[in-house]
Amino acid sequence: MKIHDDVRKRLRVLYSENDIAKRIKEIAAKLAEKQLDDPLAITILKGSFIFAADLLRAMHYAGIETEVEFMMISSYRKGTQSGQIEIKKDIDSPVENRNVILIDDILETGRTLAHARDLLMARGAKRVLTCCLLEKPGKRAVAIEADCVGFTCPDQFVVGYGMDMGHSFRELPYIGYLPQEERGETR
Ligand code: IMP
Ligand code: MG
For 27-77, write each residue's pLDDT tens digit.
Answer: 999 999 999 999 999 999 999 999 999 999 999 999 999 999 999 999 876
pLDDT of the residue at 11: 93
From the CA of 2, how far away is ligand 2's center (Å)? 24
- Per-residue exposure over 156-172, b if at least 16 CB sit within 10 Å of its own CB, e if not: bebbbbbbbbeebbbeb
pLDDT of the residue at 3: 60
Sign of the torsion angle spanned by Cα atoms 107, 113, 115, 117: negative
From the CA of 48, how far away is ligand 2's center (Å)? 6
CB-based contact 87:29 (threshold 8 Å): no
Name the residue with the closest Cα to ligand 1, atom 11.
Answer: 106
Whole-structure pTM over 0.95, yes or no?
Answer: no
pLDDT category at 4 given cuts 50, 70, 90 is: confident
In this structure, the residues whose C-beta lies within 6 A of any atom of ligand 1 are 47, 75, 104-113, 157-159, 163
Answer whether residue 171 shows pLDDT above 90.
yes
pLDDT of the residue at 186: 44
pLDDT category at 179 given cuts 50, 70, 90 is: confident
Closest ligand 1 atom to Cα of 153:
19
pLDDT of the residue at 2: 64
pLDDT category at 182 given cuts 50, 70, 90 is: low
pLDDT of the residue at 82: 54
Closest CA to 52 of 64, 43, 40: 43
Ligand nearest to the CA of 112: 1
**Average per-residue pLDDT in the chain?**
92
Name the residue with the closest Cα to ligand 1, atom 9.
Answer: 106
CB-based contact 56:25 (threshold 8 Å): no
Across residues 142-170, what is the average pLDDT? 95
Q: CA 160, CA 145: separation in Å to the nearest integer? A: 23
